Amino acid sequence: MKRDSSISFIKTLSKFDVAAIFGSGACAIHCLVLPSLAILSPSVANLFSGEWVHVGLLVLLIPIAIFTLFNGYKLHKSHLTLSTGIFGICAMVVAFLLEAYAFDGENLVVSINALGTLALMSAHLMNFNALKKVERPEQFVS
């Protein structure tokens, strides 16, 4: 029974990793496409450029990242996966804070945010792949 719950936990983590990859992708698309959209359709761009979008993405992505990456680390012990995820989270938070406090360097903010989302997506992908290789998961889940 313990092995079944362990495998179920790993499958749950993997599902959250996939969701986080898509969430980070949405964040990257938002950051990289919105400036072009502003030129083509300012009214649509204004709808998705509010602070609520950034806060919403962070509130959604950070808890998922913390849950999946730290629990995944307990199973696979990959320091690279965990540190890449932490770097991605930190970069996204720094970009958000720079923008929130009216830092006058939009290209830098977009670059930091894009780097952070790519790092976070990579970390979730590494976590997803590492979880597939975990041997004897029952020793980690009680």
The answer to whether position 12 is within a domain reads yes
The answer to whether position 49 is within a domain reads yes
Q: What single-letter amino acid sits at 70?
A: F
Return the minimum-mean-pLDDT range out of 5-14, 29-38, 86-95, 107-116. Answer: 29-38
- Distance (Å, whole) CA 23 – CA 117: 9
| Residue ranges making up the domain that contains 93 | 2-133
- Distance (Å, whole) CA 59 – CA 55: 6
Q: Please determine, for residue 86, whether its predicted confidence score (pLDDT) is greater than 90.
A: yes
What total of structural domains would you count in the chain?
Answer: 1
pLDDT band at residue 45 under the 50/70/90 scheme: low
The answer to whether position 141 is within a domain reads no
Q: Please determine, for residue 109, whether its predicted confidence score (pLDDT) is greater than 70.
A: yes
The answer to whether position 75 is within a domain reads yes
The answer to whether position 140 is within a domain reads no
Tokens of 126: 């590494």
The answer to whether position 123 is within a domain reads yes
The pLDDT of residue 17 is 87
Structure-model confidence comparison of residues 66 and 3, the more confident one: 66
